[in-house]
Structure 1
């Protein structure tokens, strides 16, 4: 029985390595420094983002792509977001600061903000960024190089600097889930809607593909609009390229424990289609493959049968490999069982909030 268990975990480790290696890095190919004539609209929704405004706009001003416009939308902020934005823009004509319209009852806040931004944009490409994102100076050129024939969207999961206790345990699990569960080759080389992943902090659309797909209005009631808009893109005949952008894009996501808890509670159950059966399957999967190795290893130490430590080593190695591929802190693998356990707890809690109609709280708004 132990040998079968070890074989299964070894296959899982090899799968993770191979899967990660097929994820293309966001880069400019050697000997191909093409200058693009296309205009790029960088579109950023902001709500209560006073802590991010200064570093965000400083980052945007360092972008080296010339044919560019920046459109920022203040979505009813209750802090100094608008004031700080005006100060930081400081007359730079590339920037346009919009005042967001009142949120209609049948829209999600961020989705409505992105919809308004797209209506104002004049570029050939739309690059949607979150306010907590910082980008390298050549990010736009790198992103344009990632497009090929019939590619409608390029997206990827950024690098996450970590601050809070829950942030260290949970935020990198976004990469973990993608590398472990998503067949990258199918995601990038087919138009199969089920084989998709996306991160709303960094999504670059080819304009005509975005408009043909119907834009953010198509997913106006989605709490996980990034996933759903990606599926819609494929349904409309376009490829979606998932890339490793951790070398170029940084996201200061969920800085406090409270933000981590609320953010994951909001996204986990909706992200798996609000499917209780799938929650049960995932709990069984993670319990057997990622939680059981810990008590097994403890038992192995007690009885001096050290071969029982191997399953724990293998599961931690899976996490270690993913963290290294995504430029994360090397020692995070030590907390693998706790990270998995917390993710399962939050998955159940997210399901509870949804099924009891208590709703999800985010940035002062409550969503069902």
Structure 2
């Protein structure tokens, strides 16, 4: 038992050191005072039933500076809540904004990829950079200019400047920080940028910046038309076409509160987690590994302390603290909240495993849906 506890402590410590290296050495930081952008840039905003929360996002887009040739193309994807009227109320007669009405969803497409496909098709033909933004993202005034500068500095075809993820409810605070923690901990960022392997890919659709030529060469969103995780799949498709992708800390560029309650969060994760691991067996292996590394040590340590096995208790506590340290490093690197949330990292991992299991369960029962549409 002592050997197991020590092995877990060593493994978790190694992963935390990898998190630290990624965060301090390889994570890209967009400029805080970017030079003016002389390229034409199209910001593309897909909306479906977002009337209640689109105003902060669109207002922040209208406040962008440092891009002389900027257009904002908004697509109302068959909303039923007055989204188009809300867009008109915010945009007024600003000539940079074009509002489109989405076409009916064709067979073989999911909603988000089709909305992005339509937006890209209607963007200014002279735009050399496309910036896809979700409605729950609020950008700093220099965000678009800094994102374009970071894309060019990375010599990449696709860049994710990952926003600062906001969390309000207890459930959000337990689960949402795992987004940044997971790729900082398990993904070698420098290898991801240099390697042509599609399996080494990460991207976030909340704020996605692409070189127009590289996007078209990869087939755009048409190449990922039926993918639930269309952002990650787009990154893989870019790699398959010979392009490069990169991640950056976008916490100084944008804020994003993806969900406003545990119910929303559970629904959002459930619709897509099944697509993250390739197969149920792969998902099971990931969940078991995470539980073994991050949930078992504190339980093992407490049980050992209660029975007087203090060597095991010390090793279990060390593994727990190493996991907490990894969460703290990830939070500090991406503008997140470290304490006291990081102390509950084992609970976060358990909830994450439950969401994965729930996703596979509802998929087998064909009960997955999002925004009123089934998720195949």
Deviations 1:10-42 (A, max 9, x none): 21221111122211112258xxx5433210000
Judge which range, 91-100 or 45-54, deviates more. 45-54
Question: What's the CA shift for 1:297?
Answer: 2.7
The 5-angstrom pairing of residues 79-90 of structure 1 reads 79-90=81-92
Q: CA deviation at 1:157?
A: 2.5
Q: Is the 8 Å Cα contact of residues 132 and 206 (structure 2) preserved in structure 1? A: yes
Q: Distance in 2 between matches of 1:40 and 1:54?
A: 21
Cα deviation, residue 105, structure 1: 2.2
SS at 1:50's partner residue? coil
* Long gaps (5+) in structure 2: none
Q: What are the superposed Cα offsets for residues 191-239 of structure 1, whole Å, 9 maximum, x if unpaired?
A: 2211110001111111111111111111100110001111010111111
Q: Give 3-state SS (helix, strand or coil) of 1:244's partner.
A: strand
Q: Distance in 1 between matches of 2:262 and 2:292?
A: 28
For 2:165 and 2:353, how far apart are their aligned partners in 1? 21
Aligned partners of 2:10 and 2:319 also within 8 Å: no
Structure 1 residue 302: Cα displacement: 2.3
Q: C-alpha offsets along residues 22-67 of structure 1, whole Å, 9 cap, x if unaligned?
A: 11112258xxx54332100000000011122211121111100221
| Contact 2:47 2:75 (C-alpha < 8 Å) held by counterparts | yes
Q: Kindly report which structure 2 residues correspond to 1:1-368, keeping only aligned pairs within 5 A, or say none.
A: 1=3, 2-21=5-24, 22-27=26-31, 34-64=35-65, 65-122=67-124, 123-146=127-150, 147-148=152-153, 151-273=156-278, 275-303=279-307, 305=310, 307=314, 308-331=316-339, 332-354=341-363, 356-368=364-376
State the distance in 2 between where 1:10 and 1:108 align: 40
Deviation at 1:164, TM superposition (A): 2.3
Question: Is the 1:319–1:336 Cα contact (8 Å) retained in structure 2?
Answer: yes
2:56, 2:138 within 8 Å by CA — same for their partners in 1?
Answer: yes
Gaps of 5+ in 1: none
Distance 2:30 2:88 in 1: 32
C-alpha spacing 1:182/1:350, structure 2 compared with 1 (3 Å): same
Give the match's secondary structure for 2:342.
Answer: helix
TM-score (norm. length: structure 2): 0.92
Contact 1:150 1:238 survives alignment (8 Å): no
Q: Which has the higher contact order (CA 8 A, sep 6+)?
A: 2
Deviation at 1:135, TM superposition (A): 0.7
> What is the total number of aligned residue pairs between the two structures?
363
Instruction: Report if the CA contact (8 A) 1:187-1:242 is conserved.
Output: no
Task: Give me the whole-angstrom Cα distance separating, in 2, the residues matched to 1:51 and 1:26.
Answer: 30
Give the distance between the partners of 1:7 and 1:214, measured in 2 at CA.
44
What is the deviation of 1:303? 4.2
**How far 1:256 sits from its partner (Å)?**
1.8
SS of alignment partner, residue 253 of structure 1: coil
1:84-132 alpha-carbon deviations (Å, 9 max, x no partner): 1111111000000111111112110111110110011011110000011
Whole-angstrom distance in 1 between the partners of 2:218 and 2:325: 40
The separation in 2 between residues aligned to 1:49 and 1:270, in whole angstroms, is 25
Moved more, 332-341 or 19-28: 19-28
